[in-house]
Copies of this chain bind each other. A is one copy, B any other.
Amino acid sequence: MSKKVLIIGGVAGGASAAARLRRLDEEAQIILFERGEYISFANCGLPYYLSGVIPERESLLVQTVRGMALRFNIDIRVNSEVTLIDREKKEVEVVTNDRTYRESYDFLILSPGAEPLRPPIEGIDSDNIFTLRNMEDVDRIKKYLVIEKPQKAAVIGGGYIGIEMAENLHHAGIKVTLIEAAEHILAPFDREMARIIEKVLIDQGVNLIVNDKVQRIKEGKVIELQSGEAVEAQSIVLSVGIKAETTLARAAGLAIGNSGGIKVDPSLRTSDPAIYAVGDAIEVEDLVNGSKALIPLAGPANKQGRIAADNICGRHSTFKGTQGTSIIKVFDFTAAATGNNERKLRQEGIPYVKSYTHSGSHAGYYPGSTELTIKLLFSPEDGKLLGAQIVGQKGVDKRIDVLATALRHGLTVYDLEELELAYAPPYSSAKDPVNMAGFVAANILRGDVKIMHWEELTLMPQEERILIDVRTAIEFRKGHIEGALNIPVDKLRKRIDEIPRDRKVIVYCKAGLRAYLACRILEQKGYEVYNISGGYDIYLADRH
C-alpha cells in the first residue's frame, strides 16, 4: 500500500518536502494544504517587489499550483486551512471557502511558518499599519502605495525585514523613519558592527531612531515614542519580529519547546512519530552553544523539508542544527553574520575572545576595492570559531560563507591562517581577509600581542596608562582620541625614549595593523603594551 502524506503549509519547507517526497516515492499520495492563495512564493523577495527592484509580481511565484501539480503529481489545495489535527484518528480537518472536511494521513508534515508579531500597542489596528509575510500582504501594501501615494512612511523594527522595507520604501521615493526599540538595529550583530550599518541608513537619508519605544499610534498617523518624540507617517510597517505558528501543534498536544517552537528530534519528528515539523515553526539546536533556538531562515527551512521527506521515506537523515548564517543588503552595503554574537555568548556563559580586522575586498592596486570589517569571536582555549560578523560593500557574502563553513566544521582561527583561497587581483589579496582575520586572532591567542577594546580603555585610570596614536601626523590632525600622543609607527624606533616605562602603553592606529607593529617593537623593548583591536575605525563606528 502506498503511503498518504499530508503537508500543512505550501511555501519554503512544505513545498520542498512535497517535491522531495515525490522524487523518493512515485507512488505516495501527497496532499499539500495552503491557507493562502499561493504556494512556493519567494517571501524573501517581497520587499524588493514593493520598490520595483523586482519588477514582475509573477517572478515571485517560484512555482505555481498548476506547475507544481503537473511536475510532481501532487494534490495541491490552496485556500484550504487546516484547523485541527486529530492524532488519534490520524486525520486533519480542513476549512475552505465553502466547506469543512477531514482528510486522513499516514504521515503529516507541518510547515506552517511563523506570523508577524503585533504587540498590544494602542492604535496598532489602523488599516494603514501593515505587516509583511506573504503575497496577500505585499499586494495590500503595494495597492496602498499606488493609491494613497504616501510621502512619509515609518517602519517599526530594525531587524532584517524592517531594514529591507526601509530601503525599498526609500527606493520607492518615500521618506522613511525607522524606529528601533533596542540600543541598535540588527539584533544578530553586536553594537559596534550594527553602528556601521546605522550610519549607512542615515547617510542615505533614512530617519533612524534607536533606543526608543513606540508608546501609541494616533489615528494611524502619528507615532508617539517613549522619549516624547512623535513621528508622522501616512503608512506604517510593523516588523518587530515573528512568532512560530504553533496553534495547530499546541491544540494537538504536540510538545512545544521553551523557545516557543515545536519540539522535534534530529530527524525532525515531533513528539508524535507520525508527525514531522520543519521551518520557522520548529525549534532547532544552536550549533555553537547547544541551546534550543528559533532560527527563521529559508535555507534551513528548505533543507529541513528535504530531511523530513527522507525520513518519511525510510531514510535516516538528520538536521544537525543551525548556526544562523544570515545576510542583508543595506543600500550599497552588506552585513552578514554566522554563529553567536557577544550577547549570546555571554548569555550562555561561553568564554570568548574577539578581534577585528579591516581588509580590502580585493587587492588595493586593482580598481574598485572597498573595505570590509570582520569581527571574529573565538574560544580562548583552542581558538575554535564561535561567531563572525562582517560589514562592507563588496565580498562580504564570500567571506561569511567561508567562515560559516569553517565554523560548522569546528575550525579554529589557526585553520583560518592556512586556508588556501582563490587569489587574483580582481577577487582578493594574496592573504585573503579571512586569512588576515585568522592571523590577527591567532596572534592574540599565541600571546604575540595583547589587545584591549575601547570599552576597556575608558575603565582604566588615566594615570596608569599612556595612549599612543601611531598613525601619521596628518591622520592624527584630522581626529584622534583625547590625550593620545602621536608617534607614527615609522618613527617609533627613534622616538622610543619618549614613552614612559612605568605605565601601560595603549597603542592604536586606523585599523590595527600599524599598532600591532608598534606593539611588537615595544613589547620586545620591555614595555607592557596593548593594541586597541579594530583601531580608530571601530572607535568611530561605535560613536557615529
Contact = CB atoms under 8 A, between A and B. Distances in A.
A365 interface: yes
Contact of A42 (B45, B71, B363, B490): B363
B26 A302 contact: no
Contact of A397 (B59, B398, B431, B524): B398
A320 to B, nearest CB: 6
A336 B428 CA distance: 13
A234 to B, nearest CB: 27
A128 interface: no
Interface in A52-78: 53-55, 59-60, 62, 70-71, 73
Contact of A408 (B420, B426, B490, B516): B420
A238 B210 CA distance: 61
Given A53-B367, A430-B299, A423 B327 contact: yes
A489 B23 CA distance: 13
Given A71-B489, A363-B42, A366-B54, A422 B397 contact: yes
Stoichiometry, as copies per complex, reads: 2
A420 B267 CA distance: 17
Contact of A299 (B55, B326, B421): B421
A415 interface: yes
B400 A422 contact: yes
Q: Interface residues of A toward B: which range? A: 35 or more
Contacts of A323: 420
A107 interface: no
Contacts of A415: 409
Contacts of A62: 365
A44 B303 contact: no
Contacts of A493: 73
Nearest to A160: B424
Contact of A401 (B409, B421, B430, B431): B421
A298 interface: yes
A297 interface: yes
B299 A427 contact: no
A328 B60 CA distance: 34
A424 B327 contact: yes
B365 A60 contact: yes
Contacts of A490: 70-71
Given A298-B423, A424-B329, A430-B12, A418 B303 contact: yes
A322 interface: yes
Contacts of A424: 44, 160, 326-329
B365 A45 contact: yes
A404 interface: yes
Residue among A400, A420, A525 with most chain B CB within 10 A: A420
B327 A422 contact: yes
Interface in A276-324: 297-303, 320, 322-324
Given A303-B435, A409-B411, A520-B26, A423 B59 contact: no
Contact of A71 (B24, B322, B517): B517
Contacts of A48: 366, 425
Contacts of A431: 299, 302-303
Contacts of A365: 42, 45, 54, 59-60, 62
B329 A427 contact: yes
Contact of A297 (B27, B336, B423): B423
A325 interface: yes
A239 interface: no
Interface in A388-428: 397-398, 400-402, 404-406, 408-409, 411, 415, 417-428
A114 interface: no
A521 interface: yes
B521 A45 contact: no
B364 A59 contact: yes
B397 A302 contact: no
A34 interface: no
A58 to B, nearest CB: 9
A245 interface: no
Contacts of A246: none
A420 B70 contact: no
Nearest to A27: B524
Interface string A482-525: 00000001100100000000000000000000001100110011
Interface of A: 12, 22-27, 42, 44-45, 48, 53-55, 59-60, 62, 70-71, 73, 160, 297-303, 320, 322-329, 334, 336, 338, 363-367, 397-398, 400-402, 404-406, 408-409, 411, 415, 417-428, 430-432, 434-435, 448, 489-490, 493, 516-517, 520-521, 524-525
| Nearest 6 pairs of A and B residues by beta carbon | A327-B422, A398-B398, A298-B430, A26-B524, A59-B365, A397-B427
Given A44-B424, A397-B428, A405-B405, 20 more contacts: A23-B517, A44-B423, A45-B365, A53-B367, A54-B365, A54-B366, A59-B364, A60-B365, A70-B490, A71-B489, A299-B435, A325-B421, A326-B424, A327-B427, A329-B426, A338-B422, A404-B420, A408-B418, A409-B409, A409-B411
